[in-house]
Amino acid sequence: MRTPICERLGCALPIFAFSHCRDVIVEVTRAGGFGVLGASTFSPDQLEAELRWIDQHVDGRPYGVDVIIPAAYDKAAEKSLEDLEKLIPREHKDFMERILREKGVAELPLDERERVHREIVTGRGGMTPDGARRLLTVALAHAQVKLVVSALGSPPPDVIDELRARKIMIGAMCGKADHAKRHMEAGVELIVAQGTEAGGHTGEIATMVLVPQVVRACGGKVAVLAAGGIATGEQILAAQALGAQGVWCGTVWLGTRESELDPFEKEVLFAAGAEDTARRKARTGKTVRMIKSELSEAWEQPGAPKYLPTPLQGILYNEVHARVVRARRKELYSFPAGQVVAMINEEAGVRDVMYRLQMEYVEAAERLGRIAASE
């Protein structure tokens, strides 16, 4: 399944793994794929610690970092990290509090509440262009970072110039062929065409339709990866048949032994079907495909407050989410996951997943070869 992107980035397989979990990044990278750490939930100090650990465990192999550089966000939130809490209206806090009280979900113990709050404000509060720049300053001090990907918009010109000067490949997520054109004009060299079935921030176009459109729009000038709904070797082969050089997967890693999810969260994940996910704004203020719950759906009801802009909605929602996880309340649990969650039903090690993907790919390629050769 090797394609030119492997040569360019120095990996054996064009299987890109997006994860917020350093263990997943390390295991995928060591198994020949290319791990990309989602940095946007970390504070700069936390990111430094994560990257130092990854450096120590990938045996000199290259890996990537993903930052969220939203085109639309709350400008006031960019200025005052400490005061973010004050920017969240009372009405919104009361709305969440009322639901949790009615459901009997306990407050976090005080020390945990303070820690979670600090982590979320410093992490989620960084989901602005300046926040992303702070994270990139950390990432660029790590020589093994060979790819930087931006989500929710093209990287600004100063970021593009800096990455080019350091010979770091520049990638960007895209949900429409028009986005791909804009990214190319901005200087992006790797486009991740992510279909609506993907977990996380997604658009409306399905991977099967989006990938060939983006491949055509790029005209062979930049590499395209397919994302959204890919968790088997057959799907990797299909993505390559559509013109992608490789695949970029997120949901499949959530069910691995190495993932950041705890056993309660994995139980919800393994039980979820494709129809249990939906695109909702409750988590970040922008549409994220995630597992639906009574909490995510409460925001869709008449009379619910309006969603807050990024990053405020994320700060509000994630504090509540921490309480739900601690209380182990399945009916209130929502986490980003794609439709392919339906195919992830038991825990497996990252290495096993990487092996399975390759075996399935070979079998599917042989099957297709026989079909193509038959009269």
Ligand X SMILES: Cc1cc2nc3c(=O)[nH]c(=O)nc-3n(C[C@H](O)[C@H](O)[C@H](O)COP(=O)(O)O)c2cc1C
Q: Could you tell me whether strands 246-249 and 200-201 are parallel, antiparallel, or unpaired per DSSP bridges?
A: unpaired
State which of positions 221-250 bind ligand X (CB under 6 A).
227-230, 248-250
Distance CA 229, CA 208 (A): 10
- Closest to ligand X by CB, 321 or 329: 321
State which of positions 20-39 bind ligand X (CB under 6 A).
38
Q: Which residues pair with 164 in a beta bridge?
A: none
180 binds ligand X (CB under 6 A): no
340 binds ligand X (CB under 6 A): yes
List the structure tokens of 343: 């195919």
- Closest to ligand X by CB, 175 or 212: 175
68 binds ligand X (CB under 6 A): yes
- Closest to ligand X by CB, 107 or 352: 352
State which of positions 307-336 bind ligand X (CB under 6 A).
336
Q: DSSP letters along 135-170, please?
A: HHHHHTT-TTEEEEEEESSPPPHHHHHHHHHTT-EE
How near is the Cβ of 46 to ligand X at its closest, in Å? 14
Could you tell me which stretch among 133-141, 192-200, 345-353, 363-371 binds ligand X (CB under 6 A)?
Answer: 192-200
* Residue among 122, 154, 232, 251 that touches ligand X (CB under 6 A): 251
* Residue among 135, 136, 312, 337 that touches ligand X (CB under 6 A): 337
Helix, strand, coil percent content, the chain, rounded in steps of 5: 50, 15, 35
How near is the Cβ of 222 to ligand X at its closest, in Å? 17
100 binds ligand X (CB under 6 A): no
Q: Please, is 202 exposed, middle or buried when counting C-beta atoms within 10 Å of its C-beta (0-12, 13-18, 19+)? A: buried
- Closest to ligand X by CB, 21 or 222: 21
127 binds ligand X (CB under 6 A): no
Task: For residue 335, give the DSSP letter.
Answer: -
How near is the Cβ of 212 to ligand X at its closest, in Å? 17
Q: Identify the residue whose tokens are 């195919």.
A: 343
* Residue among 151, 215, 320, 357 that touches ligand X (CB under 6 A): 151
How near is the Cβ of 98 to ligand X at its closest, in Å? 27
At 341, which amino acid appears? Answer: V
Task: Report the side by side order of strands in the sheet with 200-201.
Answer: 200-201, 288-291, 277-280
194 binds ligand X (CB under 6 A): yes
List the structure tokens of 358: 């390759």
Residues 6+ apart with CB under 8 A from 155: 69, 148, 163, 170, 172, 186, 187, 188
256 binds ligand X (CB under 6 A): no
- Closest to ligand X by CB, 35 or 62: 35
Distance CA 111, CA 117 (A): 10
Name the residues that contact ligand X, by CB under 6 A.
Answer: 18, 38, 40, 66, 68, 151, 173, 194, 197-200, 227-230, 248-252, 336-338, 340
